């Protein structure tokens, strides 16, 4: 997993050098206080910022890119580089709490095998299908 993350950082760095004059600040400026615009730029220019594919289905998850935009907003306390007029348009961040809540409210169900693993505190390996 560390090697994959290093590759992702190198990919992002290359994009910032080639398209943003070597700094992410230029990407923020180009977005013009538009959180959705910055998100779309990140997703378009940095493919590793979007998880895709599950079995035979295409699944897009913007977690990393959304967290990046939200972190910029938070770091600058919603001012200057962090002032996005539409930050509330970002969708909810996918994390472990979402599946728990969906399960609790009966929106999703797990297979008996997955349920047993969860109840036994099984540690899923990175890249494992059930992960």
Instruction: Read off the DSSP letter of residue 50.
Output: S
CB 93 within 8 A of CB 63: yes
CA distance 46 to 68: 12
Residues 6+ apart with CB under 8 A from 29: 81
| 45 is an active site residue | no
Which of 9, 95, 102, 130 is the catalytic position?
A: 95
CB 39 within 8 A of CB 46: no
Strand segments, DSSP code E, in the chain are none
What is the C-alpha end-to-end distance of the chain, expressed in Å? 13
Catalytic residues: 95
């Amino acid at each position: 997993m560390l090697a994959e993350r290093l590759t992702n950082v190198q990919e992002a760095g290359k994009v910032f050098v080639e398209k943003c004059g070597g700094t992410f600040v230029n990407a923020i400026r180009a977005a013009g206080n538009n959180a959705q615009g910055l998100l779309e730029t990140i997703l378009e220019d940095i493919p590793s910022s979007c998880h895709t594919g599950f079995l035979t289905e295409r699944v897009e998850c913007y977690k990393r890119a959304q967290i990046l935009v939200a972190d910029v907003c938070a770091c600058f306390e919603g001012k200057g580089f962090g002032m996005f007029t539409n930050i509330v348009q970002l969708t909810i961040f996918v994390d472990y709490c979402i599946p728990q809540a969906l399960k609790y409210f009966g929106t999703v169900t797990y297979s008996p095998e997955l349920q047993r693993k969860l109840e036994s505190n099984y540690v899923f390996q990175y890249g494992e299908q059930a992960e």
